[in-house]
């Protein structure tokens, strides 16, 4: 297999950060698709509870600067699913998980995983890879885009989508 691309390194770093959150179940650094209930059980069920997190890129914006540099900002999506059981107040558990994941990406030192810092819309570029708000309409850090209920392979779950803007190091334009 060829060496990892910058995008793959970013997604792997995000997945590693999510794995470090207390209470998180299985984390996959790409979208997984189950063709059967049995297959789904192996992908995201532990202890009879769905607790599945998946990371992927939604889009990439690229800017070519007059200096000959290319700035690429990826929107990385973190999808989370957690088994819904009203009698166990899983809504509260899930909301707490979402907040712990979001908190993991709020640190100025980010994750110690090669992504240096949050770049605010008025701040200068700050490192090799940096979460940025500049290219995402000045929204900083991680965004909780959606929380809802879904049915995954006959299991009712809480579902969320968190979006994170991650900027690559500027590179020169290719010849």
- 52: nearest Cα among 19, 74, 87: 19
Residue 122's pLDDT band (boundaries 50, 70, 90)? very low
pLDDT of amino acid 171: 66
**Greatest mean pLDDT among 30-34, 38-42, 136-140:** 30-34
pLDDT tens-digit profile of 138-164? Answer: 456 788 999 999 998 889 999 999 998
Mean pLDDT computed over 25-40 = 90
Indicate which CATH number applies to the domain containing 152.
3.30.2000.10
User: DSSP string covering the chain, please?
Assistant: -PPPPHHHHHHHHHHHHHHTSTT--EEESS----SSHHHHHHHHEETTEEEEEEEEEEEEEEEE-TTSEEEEEEEEEEEEEEE--GGGTHHHHHHHHHHHHHHHT--TTTTSSS---EEPTTSPP-SSSEEESGGGTT--SEEEEEEEEEEETTEEEEEEEEEEEEEPPPEEPP-
Q: Say if 98 falls within a structural domain.
A: yes
**Model confidence at 26: pLDDT above 90:** yes
Mean pLDDT computed over 105-133 = 45
Q: Say if 1 falls within a structural domain.
A: no
Number of domains in the chain: 1
Residue 123's pLDDT band (boundaries 50, 70, 90)? very low
Q: Say if 116 falls within a structural domain.
A: yes
pLDDT of amino acid 137: 42
Tokens 């914006």, located at residue: 61
**Model confidence at 175: pLDDT above 90:** no
Q: Say if 71 falls within a structural domain.
A: yes
CB atoms within 10 A of CB 109: 9
Cα Rg of the chain, angstroms = 17
Q: Say if 22 falls within a structural domain.
A: yes
Domain of residue 132: give its range. Answer: 6-172
């Amino acid at each position: 297999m060829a060496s990892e691309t910058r995008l793959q390194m970013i997604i792997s770093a995000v997945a590693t950060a999510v794995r470090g959150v207390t209470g998180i179940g299985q984390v996959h650094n790409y979208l997984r698709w189950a063709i059967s209930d049995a297959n789904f059980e192996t992908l995201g069920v532990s202890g009879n509870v769905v607790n599945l997190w998946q990371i992927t890129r939604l889009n990439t914006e690229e800017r070519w600067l007059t200096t000959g540099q290319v700035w690429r900002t990826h929107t990385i999506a973190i999808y989370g699913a957690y088994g819904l059981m009203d009698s166990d107040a899983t809504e509260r558990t899930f909301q707490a998980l979402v907040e712990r994941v979001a908190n993991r990406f709020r640190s100025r030192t980010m994750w110690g995983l090669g992504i240096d810092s949050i770049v605010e819309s008025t701040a200068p570029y700050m490192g090799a890879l940096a979460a940025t708000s500049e290219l995402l309409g000045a929204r900083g850090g991680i965004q909780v885009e959606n929380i809802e209920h879904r049915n995954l392979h006959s299991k009712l779950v809480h579902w969320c989508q968190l979006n994170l803007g991650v900027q690559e190091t500027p590179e020169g334009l290719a010849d």
